[in-house]
Chains A and B, each alone.
Chain A
Amino acid sequence: MLKDDPPNARFESAQSFTVGADQTAVLKPQSPAMTAAACIGGLLIPGLGHLLLGRWVRGALLLVSVVLMFVLGLAMHGALSGPPDSGELISFKTLNAFANVGTGLPYFIALSTGRGAGIPTAQTADYGWLFLVVAGLLNYLIVFDAFDIARGRKP
Chain B
Amino acid sequence: MTFSHFGALTTFALLVAVVFAIITKSEPREQFRYGVFVFFSFLAAAILVGWIMYPLPL
B1 touches A17 (CB 8 A): no
B-binding segment of A32-40, A57-65, A94-102: A57-65
Nearest opposing residue in chain A for B9, CB measure: A127
Task: Select one of A61, A123, A130 contacting B12, CB under 8 A.
Answer: A130
State which size class the interface on A falls in: 20 to 34
A-B contact count (CB 8 A): 49
Which B residues fall within an 8 A CB radius of A?
1-3, 8, 11-12, 15-16, 18-19, 22-23, 26-27
Which A residues fall within an 8 A CB radius of B?
1-2, 17, 19-20, 58, 61-62, 65-66, 68-69, 72, 75-76, 123-124, 127, 130-131, 134, 138, 141-142, 144-145, 154-155
